[in-house]
Structure 1
Amino acid sequence: MKKLTITLICLLLLNGKLFAQHAHFTTSGTIEFERKTNMFAIIPKMINKDNEVWLTPMLEAYKKSQTQFKTLKSTLSFSNNKTLFIPVEEETVEGGGYFSNSPIATQNNTIYSDLDSKTGVFQKKVFGELFLVKDSTRKIKWKITDETKEISGYTCRRANAIMLDSIYVVAFYTTEIPVSGGPESFNGLPGMILGVALPHENITWFATKVTDMTLAPNAVMPPKKGKPFDGKGFKDKMQATFKDWGSEAPIYSKVFAL
């Protein structure tokens, strides 16, 4: 009986060693993301008693000519614990009018993150003007749950958080890609974030393809163009820009803070 027990233990140890030898973790490559924005839910939030006379007809016209969800694409390159998130230039859509070009419906950020030093360079487009913000990476206090979801062939675990004081975030990350990054400025989980949902903001980002590959040394580099600011300076600039925008100020302030 003692010999049998020792034999079983040896077999279990051998199987564990073989599994570890064959386990593969992706540390370099690219991820393609799709961002979906529920325009039929977001636009009504912009309408109030001051603008309803002209925005309500524009909303009805938009519903007749456009689909409910606007889809945008982006890529995330990662290597050496650094990430670079780049929006893919969208195709021009006819008939979208005012709302299609609004910052709420576009991708405004190119994000470089150094996950070792927890610093980043964030290129932000604000109504056609480029800003280059150097700051620490976003600190998000995550609560990891037991819920799982498969995304692009990877088993992901759910985590929840509140960021920017009021935005509820649901994220799905995989430990099979042991890089603590994600789309846009989402980070800080024990694996790559492949899915993000902002339920109350009606926006999601989900990976559609993951490519495991060795990238060129200069593939993950920070953007360089834009008026230089630190994080606080950019925040102050946005507050000054939108201080006289009335009811629209909180909407655009939140958009450019993401």
Structure 2
Amino acid sequence: MNKSLLKLTFTFVALLFGLNTFAQDDFQGKAYYMSKTTMDMDQWGGREMSPDQKKRIEERMKSFLEKEYILTFNKSESIYKEDEKLEAPGSGRGWGGFASSFTGGPKYKNVKDQELLQDQEFFGKQFLIKDALKPLEWKMGTETKQIGQYTCFKATATKVVDEFDWRSMRRRQPPPKKKDSSETGDSAKADSDDPMNEIEVPKTIEVVAWYTPQIPINQGPDDYWGLPGLILEVNADRTTILCTKIVMNPEEKEDIDKPKKGDEVTQAEYNDIVTKKMTEMREMYSGRGRRN
């Protein structure tokens, strides 16, 4: 038996075992994840900082870039929540407050009804984003690795990036200067004074996921789902999400309730609200610059 066929046979056997194990109607599990996003400080002026300055900023941003989450799931539903910790004074609360406008609150996924719901606060106003689950075109591989006691299989996909996904934001490379530039005077200065002109988000990113057929549900952390087993690890651009612990059928089961608070909007409608607010802020910013 060749290696690929052996792996596919193992997947089939593990899937049968898993289906028998998770057949009960009240089945529930909890998966604990660590999410970490790296940031190139040199892109954002780090080259001009001393090592001590850079270290202090990195420490303050740690609570913004490194978070822990809990995915509570049953056969068709899941809810993904940040496992919030009590922060020490001065440990980056300001960054966390800024990030909450972009990272969002609890995220509910129903793979049976293809439903996505997420709490979202933006500049003090509460929204409820309601949308259809967006499937990824996963390419299944035969490569495996062990994560804890679970054998995981590799899958890859190309994901369209949301325009306000801060995890993939990077500093825009300035275009080469043209000798015969028609942009002069106040318009050129306004563009250079606008801080949002320095930020860009790629249209798509490559995603690598590792899933285990030993837990035969097509759920996963954050936006990820749609594989024949629970997703235990995701590598997407500069972000890694890794499962650190799984509890099957905990003694105290938790209700997987749909988020309900806030003005109901689709993701596209919410992005339009954010775009208008950011435009308003840019105009205020550039207006102050011109008055000065």
Measure the CA separation in 2 of the matches of 1:231 and 1:66.
27
Task: Give the AA of the match of 2:210.
Answer: F
Whether 1:182 aligns to 2:177 is: no
For the aligned residue pairs, the C-alpha RMSD in angstroms reads 3.8
Instruction: Give the equivalent residue in structure 2 for 1:122.
Output: 118
Cα distance change, pair 113–65 in 1 and its aligned pair in 2 (3 A):
closer
CA distance in structure 1 between the partners assigned to 2:91 and 2:18 by the alignment:
50
Give the TM-score of the pair, scaled to structure 1: 0.70
- Structure 2 residue 166 is the aligned partner of structure 1 residue 171: no
Q: Quick one: structure 1 residues 245 and 105, their matched pair in 2 at CA, closer, same or farther if it must change by over 3 Å?
A: closer
Mapping of residues 70-149 of structure 1, within 5 Å: 70-97=65-92, 99=95, 101-103=97-99, 107-149=103-145
% identity of equivalent residues: 23
Amino acid at match of 2:154: R
Cα distance in 1 for residues equivalent to 2:128 and 2:18: 43
User: The residue matched to 2:271 in structure 1 has which SS?
Assistant: helix
Equivalent position of 2:276 in the other structure: 240
AA aligned to 1:181 is Q
Q: Which runs of 5+ in 1 are unaligned?
A: 1-15, 247-258
Q: Distance in 2 between matches of 1:129 and 1:119?
A: 23
Residues 93-121 of structure 1: CA distance to partner in whole angstroms, max 9, x if unpaired? 44445545542998533111111111121
CA contact (8 A) 1:152 1:210 kept: no
Counterpart in the other structure of 1:61: 56
Query: Going by fraction, where is strand more abundant, 1 or 2?
Result: 1
Larger mean Cα displacement after TM superposition, 58-67 or 112-121: 58-67
**Do the aligned residues in 1 keep the contact of 2:64 with 2:99 (CA within 8 Å)?**
no
Q: What TM-score, normalized to structure 2? A: 0.63
